[in-house]
A = this chain, B = another copy of it.
Amino acid sequence: MTITTPKGFRAAGVAAGIKKSGGRDVVVVVNDGPSASAAAVFTSNRCEAHPVTWSRRILDDGVASAVVLNSGGANCFTGEFGAETTELTANRAAELLQLQPSDVIVCSTGLIGSGDEKFRQGVLTGVKLAVAELADDETAAQHAADGILTTDSVAKTALREGTGYSIGAIAKGAGMLAPGLATMLVVITTDADLESAQLDTALREATRLSFDRVDSDGAMSTNDTVALLASGASGTAADEGEFTSLLVLCQDLARQLQADAEGASHDITITTTGAATEDEAVAVSRAVSRSNLFKTAIFGNDPNWGRVLAAIGTTDAQFVPQQIDVSMNGVMVCRAGTPDAPVDTVDLTPRKTEVLIDLHAGDATASILTNDLTHDYVHENSAYSS
């Protein structure tokens, strides 16, 4: 089990006819308490979807008892009608669950611009069906994990057991994967007894070091939401030090998102070490992760380190070009800015690919998780909305 493993949570995922495939597309997760502490982080895209605007506002008080999520439509750039749909969704869930609408987080994912009357009716019908099926068993957790998927090929779940409490999660994300955040919806539940301020601090730190370091395709979504709900049902007040297991859980999910990225054939970890600051290490790794030429080279199993250096050169990080080392899968192909080991000694056939950059400019290190740029990526994304 995952999100229903922590005590005090029920979930359901149903098919309400929003997805053309007929698959599950509306999910409800409920926190039965005793506590209703919550925190969330959202996309930093200024063009945010209506559910993001809604959820950001209702979480001002650090309290939420339910999350309604739908796949099959992003409800973004759908005008006043779309904003009303989100509000009606929260109202419907609140009515059925005997909550305040302002305690209902709403999340949507799918095509931007989709959110018409049919979509609205689908979501509202789905909420009713889902509430009727709410349960705390394994099937319910699985249905919830399935119901938020779009182009994902597998459900993403994670579970960590703390001392006297647990943390569970479901996640989706396969395309438009870039930071602040990767395109994702994540719901995390815990029965630890924590205040919303503690949840907020822990979630921001965990997100910064996990989801914000996935940059699969450089495209930032309008709908990203990571919500954390705490029921307090375990009666255990996990201390802040121990609740860092949240970070491990988020990193686990981040790896799952990377592994299922659209069309990818390589999971690439780009680690920059010897940076003057952690921010600069992130900037350098991210610049490389966004180079289409680097990404196509990896797809072709070509250790073209010149494209790594060309990307590094676009950043403001401290370095001297003639001091940079680049290794691929353990082979140093560029040492101090000059060719080193022959490129044909690098084996790039494994899906797991490691690129290590040493700037020799300090002691900071950071990694970005990305993917290669493949024919399948082009295919999936040239046909997605049609």
Contact = CB atoms under 8 A, between A and B. Distances in A.
Interface of A: 45-48, 74, 76-79, 111-113, 175-176, 217-222, 290-293, 296-297, 299-300, 302, 304-307, 309-315, 321-322, 334, 336-339, 343, 373-375, 377-379, 381-386
Contact of A74 (B46, B302, B306): B306
Nearest to A175: B293
Contact of A381 (B77, B113, B217, B292): B292
A292 B373 contact: yes
Nearest to A311: B219
A172 to B, nearest CB: 17
Contact of A291 (B219, B337, B343): B219
Count of this chain's copies in the oligomeric assembly: 2
Given A46-B321, A290-B218, A309 B112 contact: yes
A384 B295 CA distance: 12
A378 B299 contact: yes
Given A45-B310, A306-B76, A309-B222, A293 B111 contact: no
Nearest to A381: B296
Contact of A302 (B175, B306, B337, B385): B385
Nearest to A217: B292
Contacts of A77: 306, 309, 321, 334, 337-339
A19 to B, nearest CB: 17
11 contacts: A46-B312, A74-B306, A78-B339, A112-B304, A112-B310, A219-B291, A220-B313, A296-B381, A302-B386, A304-B385, A373-B378
Contacts of A315: 46
A330 to B, nearest CB: 19
A302 B79 contact: no
A107 to B, nearest CB: 16
A340 to B, nearest CB: 10
Contact of A219 (B74, B307, B312): B307
Contacts of A76: 306, 309
Contacts of A222: 306, 309-310, 313
Nearest to A320: B46
Given A79-B338, A113-B334, A221 B382 contact: no
